[in-house]
Amino acid sequence: MSHNFKLVHQTLVISRISFEKQLVVALAEFHFLPLVPDSTTLRLNCKQSRIFEVVVNDVYSAEYEYCDPTLQPVSDPLAAHTLDTFQNAEIEAFDSVNADKRLGELIIHLPKEVEDDVNNGRKFILSIEFALHEPAGGLHFVLPRMKDGTLLRNAMHLFSYGEHNSARMWFPCIDSYNELCTWKIEVTVEAMMVAITAGELIDTVTSSDGKEKTYVYELNVPTSACNIALAVGPFECHIDPNMNEVKHYCLPHLMPILKSTTATLHEAFEFYEEMLSVRYPYPAYKQVFVDEAYTDSHICSSITIFSTNLLHSSRIIDQNPVSRFEQALGIAHQFFGCFISRRSWYDAWLTIGISRYLTYQYLKATFGNNEYRYCVRQMLLDVCDYEQRETPIILDSSTTMSRSYFDINRPQTIPSEYVNVFTKKSCLVLRMLENRLGKELLLQVFNKMLSLAALSSSSEYSTGMWDNVMVSTKSFSKSVFTVTGKDLEVFINQWVYQSGCAYFTGKCKFNKKRNVVELELKQDSSGKGVLKYVGPLEVTIQELDGSFNHTFKIEENKTKFEITCHSKSRRQKKKKIPLMTGEEVEMDMASLDPDSPMIWLRIDPNMLILRKLNWELTDTMWQYQLKYERDVVAQCEALHALESEKDFATSATRSTLMEIVDDDHCFYKVRIMATHSLVKVANQMMWSGPPPMLHVFQKKFGSNSCSNIVRQLKFKNFQSYYLQRALPVAMANTRTTTTICPTEITHFILDLFRYSDNSRNKYSDCYYVASLVEAATNTISISTSINSLSNESKLILEEVTRLLNLEKVLPSYRNVITISCLKCVRTLQQKGHLPSTSTLFKSYAQFGMFIDVRLAALDIISGFLTEGETQKPQLDYLLDLVEKDPVPRVRHHILLALITQHSAISSLITTQYILSISNQLWKLMNLFCGQDTKLCSEVVELYYKLFGNKNPQSLVPEEPERGRPVADVPYTSYTADDGEYNVDNPAMEATIDYMNSVDNVVPDLGESKSKLKKKKKKNKHKHKHKSEKKERDESSRHALVSASPYLASAHDYPGPSSVQLSDPSSAEDDFLDV
């Protein structure tokens, strides 16, 4: 459908919000500019809302039709339950309401009275009055309750959420990133509430009786509906002391940790503005921290909605980098993603990639180059692994029609794991582009884009004026060519329009006669997700006289290369060797080949292409690379090689790893990796000497008078703190020849619990204690007799029980200790020390528990699917939560856990259960997930993992209860004068039933701001889900415990009763009574 109208301004007036009824009553006004004469029909996007009336120019009523085919994509009851059937129907449903093509669920027929305005190109105003009741997606009500069921009014709040064109879920709009307009938003709330939305707050009006307030926001920067967000609640406001235009909002009693979390936000603003040489594009910026958040961050224009779980006090070390990164990402996304938005889904890689690229530049400046390179390596590994294991990723699929069990051209159907890896690949491609253009030129391109966008957005709409506020692959390539003069066609074709990563295998040897290193490099292009790379490849060789870079041209059939050495072979045992950094280090050359000047050789050391390497060097070369190379990526590669090859498990390797662990100048994450590598090497060697790393821990952290007793905790050096956490966890994996953890280590770890003193430490030790619990868990070996506790297991269980009881009174930050204890109990069950039962974990998974504890307990419960007798009940329990749990994030997490355990579920696919399991999943994705496309995509992925694309052999569709097979889904007519729906097809019953259920609970609107004169009938029937809601409310008996662990106390902390042990020998029986 052609774009017959241009939306230039939209007003959203929310006149009433009822938390008790989960009801929103509002008015949406659209200012349209006709582009094509004789246009009589408008299409808008609108889901879940009950439309009351549509009026043009505040006078003329307009007829409209409403149909939402996505509520039930497969409407034919006789259709085969295959993914092909569902995918075809789902694609057809999404395409019929695609906002990019100006299609939608709501069709409005303009009255004849405005024909002259349309034909003459005059602007007209379209008003829609609507209500939203108990939304299943898009808008989330957080309704904490006391034990007696009454609402905690100082904690209830709501916020918008969603991904990929989800604005239609909570208000009528054109839900497309390429439909920009200016905005005015008015929100009327109770006097105790605060409304935060996109734009600048220009006025706050209090009602005459003082019971209500109206917040008025204006957003004069052209913005799409997709970038509009809303949060309403009893928020407390903190104005940033360094930037008055930045405000932070949190729930009551969280102000101290809000100030601590946001203390450094101004540094990110200053960094981005200096790097991009432009000002922040909006007049204000708001950060809102909410409970039960859909994701950690929901970023929209001038506002970001964060999860309360990101808040932390200054005493918490581990959460600080995570929270700072998320906040920095929110600001970077304001420049690219909100201010400059994508033109379509095909261009999402640009806004996602650029914002992530900028965020990692901030990370590099804040946490150092080592942290930055370590993150880049991890992203590269994740992308290559996913593309070879699951599905190849195409950043711009506009030229591709490939389809798997989901459609890559429609973001609503894409699984969340694909989106996560897509985000990482986008960032890596932008980093590759930085290498091609140079950082300065790339930043000039960004500056040019932002400058043109600022100039365009400051003007009123005219044809093509706002095009610079959007970006596409073609427009970006054009901008790069304009600024730099470089053509990106080859680069874009290779890395953006194609999927896959290069896969190299190679080895090298020194030719003494010619003084050259012969390099053999092969590409394997036969596997899934593999790209045949043609282009430059950088190779770095470390010789006796220094480090030298070489660049080779990788061609189709060329696999062998030669590197002429700059050094001659020498036979000195010790020599000072210059490194790439310019530093000279003294190396003992006795272990190296005396005839070869090569010490080590690296392929693509700067990770300038998307590749996976399988590189062969001798163990001595890997050891020297680990000890003397200063690049963290090189050290990580050497660690991986030394622990992977069994032949490399030698005394020399063990000594090298010990040196790295003990080296305070080495990057702390490399040292942590070295602790785990050291244990693997020692286990492969069947080491019978003193346990590895025990001496290192005692030397660094033990008391001077008694090394077995840890010194008083003082986490002044953060790198030392992380190592102190990692050492016990790693050494606990040590095993003797009988595959049992040495008793010496077990008792040493238990002593750490007893003697750790944090009384004089200004930092919290909760993560440290959680690591000790994890270390104790790692020491557990398989029981020699079923359901029998050994002496060490009894001690561990007693300590875990003590910590769980302590958590009831003094919960740790984010309950990290509780989570570690639950995992320990499950390990005791799996190793045969305790009876395997899920009762304890289900008590921790119930609604009302802190979200992290719930997710950890649900992960453990999903692990029970591997046990035959309890498989089906556990699966039914989890699928029931997917359908009924009030927290969207929990439902998503359960599905991801089930996808991980799909091989265990597959064992249930027998004649007995195949029909019930497949029907459960089919109903979930075809009937239940119509308002949550992310949830639907995850159910589809699970269905694919279990049944593939074909119908299971014994699956027979049930006989239809009513109706007939339907080929087409016509729109249902509803006019302003009819007062009733005209149903022409059974396929529309899902839509009609939902609309009627909303209509049944909408109260009298009273005076309307839309000047509508027609009165609505009031239906007194009770909502059919009222009883279910009551049960849910009674079960959610606690309020803000899940908002922050700081608010939990002994009397209101939910969960199982405390455990008391009268005698260590009765630990097992007492614990199982929980």
- Which tens digits make up the pLDDT trace of 304-336? 999 999 999 999 999 999 999 999 999 999 999
Range 449-478 average pLDDT: 88
- Token pair 């950890």 is found at 856
Confidence of residue 736 (pLDDT cuts 50, 70, 90): confident
pLDDT at 948: 84
* Tens-digit pLDDT profile for residues 262-320: 999 999 999 999 999 999 999 999 999 999 999 999 999 999 999 999 999 999 999 99
pLDDT at 1010: 40
Distance of CA 785 to the CA centre of its chain: 42
Tokens describing residue 531: 């790209």
Q: Residue 1000 pLDDT > 80, yes or no?
A: no
As a whole number of angstroms, the distance between CA 446 and CA 276 comes to 7
The SS3 assignment for 961 reads coil
* Tens-digit pLDDT profile for residues 562-573: 999 988 776 666
pLDDT at 1046: 31
For the chain, give the percent of residues with pLDDT over 90: 66
pLDDT at 966: 36
* Tens-digit pLDDT profile for residues 682-705: 999 887 777 778 888 998 998 888
Confidence of residue 902 (pLDDT cuts 50, 70, 90): confident
* Tens-digit pLDDT profile for residues 139-182: 999 999 988 888 999 999 999 998 888 999 999 999 999 999 99
Confidence of residue 869 (pLDDT cuts 50, 70, 90): low
The SS3 assignment for 508 reads strand
Mean pLDDT of the chain: 86
* Radius of gyration over every alpha carbon of the chain, rounded to an integer in angstroms: 31
Confidence of residue 1014 (pLDDT cuts 50, 70, 90): very low
In this structure, of 73-82, 95-104, 466-475, the range with the lowest mean pLDDT score is 73-82
* Tens-digit pLDDT profile for residues 798-834: 999 999 999 999 999 999 999 999 999 999 999 999 9
Report CA torsion sign: 421, 422, 426, 427: negative
Return the H-helix or E-strand segment holding 730. Answer: helix 718-731
As a whole number of angstroms, the distance between CA 355 and CA 337 comes to 7
In degrees, rounded to 5, the angle at the alpha carbon of residue 858 between the alpha carbons of residues 855 and 862 is 140
Contact 894, 862 (CB under 8 A): yes
Q: Residue 126 pLDDT > 60, yes or no?
A: yes
- DSSP assignment of 589-600 equals GGGS-TT--EEE
Q: Residue 921 pLDDT > 70, yes or no?
A: yes
pLDDT at 80: 85
pLDDT at 652: 92
DSSP letter assigned to residue 151: B
Residue 904 or 178, more confident: 178
The SS3 assignment for 609 reads coil
Confidence of residue 774 (pLDDT cuts 50, 70, 90): very high
Q: Residue 664 pLDDT > 70, yes or no?
A: yes
For the chain, give the percent of residues with pLDDT over 70: 87
* Tens-digit pLDDT profile for residues 178-222: 999 999 999 999 999 999 999 999 999 999 999 999 999 999 999
Q: Provide the 10 A C-beta neighbour count for residue 194.
A: 20
Bridge partners, residue 218, by sequence: 184, 200
Q: Residue 92 pLDDT > 50, yes or no?
A: yes
Strand 63-66 and strand 60-61: pairing?
unpaired
Range 389-402 average pLDDT: 87
In this structure, of 77-81, 112-116, 746-750, the range with the lowest mean pLDDT score is 77-81
Q: Provide the 10 A C-beta neighbour count for residue 766.
A: 24
pLDDT at 191: 93
Give the contacts of 640 (CB within 8 A, at least 6 positions apart): none
pLDDT at 688: 72
Classify 13 in phi/psi space as left (phi over 0), alpha (psi -120 to 50) or beta.
Answer: beta
* Tens-digit pLDDT profile for residues 938-987: 999 999 998 888 776 544 445 444 443 333 333 333 333 333 333 343 33
* Tens-digit pLDDT profile for residues 587-613: 888 888 888 889 999 999 999 999 999
* Tens-digit pLDDT profile for residues 490-518: 999 999 999 999 999 989 999 888 889 99
Report CA torsion sign: 77, 78, 81, 85: negative
pLDDT at 372: 97
Give the contacts of 592 (CB within 8 A, at least 6 positions apart): 599, 620, 624
pLDDT at 54: 96
Q: With 0.75 as the threshold, say if the pTM is over it.
A: yes
As a whole number of angstroms, the distance between CA 446 and CA 479 comes to 9
pLDDT at 1049: 31
Contact 971, 108 (CB under 8 A): no
Confidence of residue 1048 (pLDDT cuts 50, 70, 90): very low
Tokens describing residue 1061: 């042990």
Bridge partners, residue 563, by sequence: 517
As a whole number of angstroms, the distance between CA 17 and CA 190 comes to 8
pLDDT at 786: 76
Confidence of residue 1059 (pLDDT cuts 50, 70, 90): very low
Backbone angles phi, psi at 95, to 5 degrees: -65, -30
Confidence of residue 719 (pLDDT cuts 50, 70, 90): very high
Residue 747 or 905, more confident: 747
pLDDT at 502: 92
The SS3 assignment for 308 reads helix
Bridge partners, residue 517, by sequence: 510, 563
Report CA torsion sign: 988, 990, 994, 1000: positive
Confidence of residue 747 (pLDDT cuts 50, 70, 90): very high
pLDDT at 572: 64
Task: Give the type of residue at 508.
Answer: C
